[in-house]
Amino acid sequence: MTDPISDMLSRIRNAILVRKPEVVMPHSRFKAQLAQLLVQAGYLGAVEELAMPYRSLKITLAYNGGQPAIRHLKRISTPGRRFYTKSAELPRVLSGLGIAVISTSQGLMTNQEARRKRLGGEVICEIY
């Protein structure tokens, strides 16, 4: 697998399409931080780290009135085309209704938080 983050986002997207309550995937520290950020933003229900039979992440999906909280999930920066931006040029997703996940020198954060802290970085994905 060349892009584990795209795999994670695809697993979440596919689970939402078939209305599964949760999805399990291989664990990594970056994926756990990304999932935790999405829980804080309200797009996912919960994240749990499982140890058996191998280290994995169990992500509970969030639904509002039977509709998924995530309507659109897109990977922006890929291994073949990294997308870096300055703090003044951070993307606005759906006129501020969605979020973009930015990997900065201070860790993963949303585009609004990175703009407040005046930090640029790699745009990982956008969600609304």
Domain boundary assignment for the chain: 4-68, 73-127
**Does 4-68 match 73-127 in CATH topology?**
no
What CA–CA distance (Å, rounded) separates 38 from 98?
11
What CA–CA distance (Å, rounded) separates 78 from 58?
24
pLDDT at 61: 97
Tell whether pTM > 0.85. yes
**Three-class SS of residue 5?**
helix
Domain 4-68 in CATH 3.40.50.300 = no
pLDDT at 1: 76
Domain 73-127 in CATH 3.30.1490.10 = yes
What CA–CA distance (Å, rounded) separates 36 from 112?
16
- Token pair 């509709």 is at which residue? 67
For the chain (length 128 residues), average pLDDT per consecutive 10? 94 97 96 97 96 93 94 95 96 94 97 96 97
The identity of residue 109, as a single letter, is M
* Selection from 124, 35, 119 nearest residue 82 by Cα: 124
